[in-house]
Structure formats: structure tokens, C-alpha cells
Structure 1
Amino acid sequence: MILYPTIELQNGRCVSLNRGRLDEPSVWHVDPVETARGFAAAGAQWMQVTDFDAIVGEETSSATVEDIIRGAGIPVQVAGGIRTREHAEEWLNKGAGRVVIGTMATRDPQTVKSLAKFYPDQIVLAVDVWQGQVMSEGWKSSSAFEPEAFIQEFDGVPFAGILVTDIDADVEDNDASLSLVTTLAAASRTPIVASGIVRTTDDIARLKYVSNVGGALVSRSLFRKTIDLAEALEVAQPSADKVAEFI
């Protein structure tokens, strides 16, 4: 299972949101590029950058995202406010390893399907779920889709993965629940990446045994230092199968 240590940016600063509110961030006084390099030094294979400014249509953090792409030393998955094909291609041309598409998929699924076929293994579908519905516009608007039906709409599309966020667990800061991820992983032929439910290494240990879960995002726990990245990466590795001994 691949862990994606995640930097969330607002006004060029590393932040975490309190109960999903963009106007009440916790600011972490660390350098974003150095933090990204630290992820690589700890052994991460990938990382994600989520641009909260882009979600509301601003470019305040765009330069910082570019700096991270150039300086991290590992592939960067870019998320936040990517709502047109041109914007997605812009980030890919700037060196992003992958881009995460959510709102555009609820508005214009055909364009997203075409984009994924043109850039196989570089487009990630975001499925943000709150109270049983797929959300869009940075969790502000409820779409007409239920998550399983939404995933089925894109069956066979060559996404790099499907990023599932349990908004209920993330916003309410509840104990991690595997039920949503388990259900959607069973409904998908594309590997699921879990978001919003990893708070301890025990959560990672449980996730890696869920069929068709290929990864998980971890962010706030790293900045709060409730998870050590090197330890978490070790936990995420597949366990060696026991081999019977024969005499």
C-alpha cells in the first residue's frame, strides 16, 4: 500500500483545516519545500499537495506548488480546484506526476473520461462523500450522485486511482471508519486511495488488509506528530507470507 504524505496549502503556508473550514486553518510554521524533501528522505514514494486557494479560485499558492514539484525529489500528486481540462494539462506540463479531479467529474464526466484515456495513470478521480452523497465545489455542494453509482459511471476508465474521502470522519474528527472505503473498494475495479481516516499507524495497518485499497493519504497526523512517517511507511509495506517449513 502506498502512503501519500500530504501538504495542504493556503496562502503559501502549510495548514490543516478545523472541521473542514477554510476560514479557520491551523497554520504549521514549516517550509513547504523542505517538508516535502523530508517526506522523500523518510522513504515516501509519492506525496500529495492540496491547494486550498485554488479551490476558491485563487492562485496564491500556485508558485509554492510549483516549487514543491521541482524540489520534492519524489512524484507529486496535485489536488485542489482543477476544474477544466486545460488546468489539468497545465499542471501535468509543469511536472506534476498526477492530478486529482473531483468537481469536473460531476459536471462533465465525458471530458474527464477523455482526459484519463489521453493521460493514463496520471488522473485520479476524487470521490468526496458526506452523508451518502458525492460532494463537489470543495465539499460545499451536494451532487446528484451516490458514491457507488458515481464510481460505476467511470468503470473501465484508466484512472491512476480513486481518492475516497470520508468527509463525515474527516470533519467530525471521529475514529477512523473503514466501512465506506471497504464498500467502495468492493464496487471498483480501480484501486482506492483512502483519505480522511488515517490518524494512527493502527489505521494504516487495518487499511492495508482491505481488498483493492492501494493507498492512503496522511497529513494532519504528520504535522501533529501523532504519526512518524518512516514508521508509517514501514507499517504500510505488505507483510511477508508465512512459508511452511518442510523437513
Structure 2
Amino acid sequence: MIIYPTIELKDGKCVSLTRGRLAEPEIWHIDPVETAHGFAEAGAQWMHVTDLDALTGEGDNNELIEEIIRTAGIPVQLGGGFRSRDRVEQWIDKGAGRIVVGTMAAHEPDLLRELAKYHPDQIVLSVDVYQGHVMTDGWRTASAFTPEDFVRAFDGAPLAGVIVTDIDADIAEQDGRLGVISGLAAHTRHPVIARGTVRSTDDVARLKYIPNISGTLIGRALMARDVDLAEALAVARPEPEPTATFQ
């Protein structure tokens, strides 16, 4: 299972949001570029960056994100406000390893399929779930789609994966959160990346054994030092299969 250490950017700062409230970010007083370097030094294979300002069209983190992509030393999975072909392809050209798309998939599903066709294994579908429905526009608008129907609609596209977020994760019980993730993982052939479920290293261990979970994003827990990245990476590594001893 792949651990995606995560940076959320707002006004050039590392932040965390509670239930998507953009007006009330928790600010972490750390350097985003140094933090990205630290992820690579700890042994991460990938990292994830969300540009929160791009969701609202305010602010500009472009230069900062370009520096992270250029210097981190590991590929970057980038999300935040990708609603047009031009913006997706612009960031692929700038070196982003993957682009995460959510709202576009709800409004222009054929465009998402086309982008996935021309950029195979570089497009990730984001599925944000609240009260049984897929949310769009940065968690602000409820769509008519159930998450199961939404992910099934893209089973034929060569996606790199599907990020599943339970927006109620901060207030739900652990079993309930894993139920949403594991249920959706059973409804798609694409590898599922869980978000919003890890508060401790034990949560990584639980996710590791859910079928079709290929990874998890960890942001707030790393920033608050509730999870040590090197330890989480060690837990997520596949265990060697037992081998028979022949005399």
C-alpha cells in the first residue's frame, strides 16, 4: 500500500481543513518545500499536494507548487480546481505525476474519459462522499450521484486510481469510515486511495488489509505529529509471503 504524505496549500502556507471549511484553515508553521523534501527523505514513493486557492480561484500557489514538483525528488499527485482540459495538461507538462479531478467528472464525464485516454495512469478520480451523495465544487455542492454509480461510470477509463473521501470522517466512528471506503472499493476495478481515515499508525494497518485499497493520503496527522511517516511507511510495506522449507 502506498502512503501519500499530503500538503494542503492556502496563501502559500501548509494548512489543514476541518470538513472542508476553507474560511477556517488550521495553519502549520512549516516550510512547504522543506516539508516535501522531508517526505522524500523519509522514504515516500509519492506525495500529494492540494491547491486550496485553486478551488476558489483566489491566490496563486503556482510558483510554490512548481518548486515542489521540481525539487521534491518524488512524483507529485496534484489536486485542486482542475475543471478544464487546458489546466490539466498545463500541469502535466510542468511535471505533475498525476492530476486529481472531481468536479469536472460530474459536469463533463466525457472530457474526463478523454483526458484519461490521452494521459493513461495520470488522471485520478476524486469521489467526496457526504450523506450518501458525491459532493462537488470543493465539498460545497451536493450532486445527484451516489458514489457507487459515480465510480462505476468510469470503470472503462484508464484511471490511475480513485481517491475516496468520507467528509464525515472527523465525526464518524472508525468502523463507519472504513465501511464507506471498503464499500466503494468493492464497486470499482480501479485501485482506491483512501483519504480522511488515518489518525494513527494503527489506522494504516487497518487499511492495509481492505481489498482493493492501494494507498492512503495522510495530511493532518503528519503535520500534528500524530503519525510518524517513516513508521507509517514501514507498516504499509507488503509483508513477505511465507516460504516452505525443503529438506
Superposed pair shares fold, TM > 0.5? yes
* Shift in Å, 1:174: 4.9
CA distance in 1, matches of 2:108, 2:58: 22
Instruction: Give 1:14's aligned residue.
Output: 14
May I ask how many residue pairs the two structures share in their alignment?
A: 246
Is 1:160 aligned to residue 160 of structure 2? yes
Letter in 2 for 1:85: R
Deviations 1:105-161 (A, max 9, x none): 000000000000000010000000001000000000011100010011101210000
Q: How is 1:154-193 mapped onto 2 (pairs within 5 angstroms)?
A: 154-170=154-170, 172=171, 174-175=173-174, 177-193=177-193
1:83 equivalenced with 2:79 (yes/no)? no
SS class of match (2:54): helix
Aligned residue type for 2:73? G
AA aligned opposite 1:199 = R
Whole-Å separation in 2 of the counterparts to 1:53 and 1:174:
30
Pairing 1:1-247 to 2, within 5 Å after superposition = 1-170=1-170, 172=171, 174-175=173-174, 177-247=177-247
Q: Indicate conservation of the 8 Å contact 2:20/2:138, yes or no.
A: no
Structure 1 173/64 Cα, relative in aligned 2: closer, same or farther at 3 Å? farther
User: What is the CA–CA distance in structure 1 between the aligned matches of 2:149 and 2:133, rounded to whole Å?
Assistant: 10
TM-score, normalization by structure 2: 0.96
> TM-score normalized by structure 1?
0.96
- What is the alpha-carbon distance in structure 1 between the residues aligned to residue 140 and residue 18 of structure 2? 15
Shift in Å, 1:206: 0.9
Deviates more, 1:122-131 or 1:50-59: 50-59
Whether the 8 Å contact between 1:200 and 1:226 is mirrored in structure 2 is yes
Instruction: Could you tell me which runs of 5 or more consecutive residues in structure 1 were left unpaired when the two chains were aligned.
Output: none
Cα root mean square deviation, aligned: 1.2
Quick check: 1:148–1:187 contact (8 Å CA) kept in 2? yes
Instruction: Tell me if structure 1 keeps the 8 A contact 2:207–2:213.
Output: yes
Provide the rounded CA distance (Å) in 2 between the counterparts of 1:225 and 1:197.
Answer: 16
Name which of structure 1's ranges 93-102 and 16-25 shifts more when overlaid on structure 2: 16-25
Q: Which moved more, 1:111-120 or 1:10-19?
A: 10-19
1:240 Cα offset (Å): 1.7
Tell whether the 8 Å contact from 1:82 to 1:88 is kept in structure 2 after alignment: yes
Residue segments in structure 2 that go unaligned for 5+ positions in a row: none
CA contact (8 A) 1:19 1:173 kept: no
Aligned residues of 2:19 and 2:168 also touching (Cα < 8 A): no
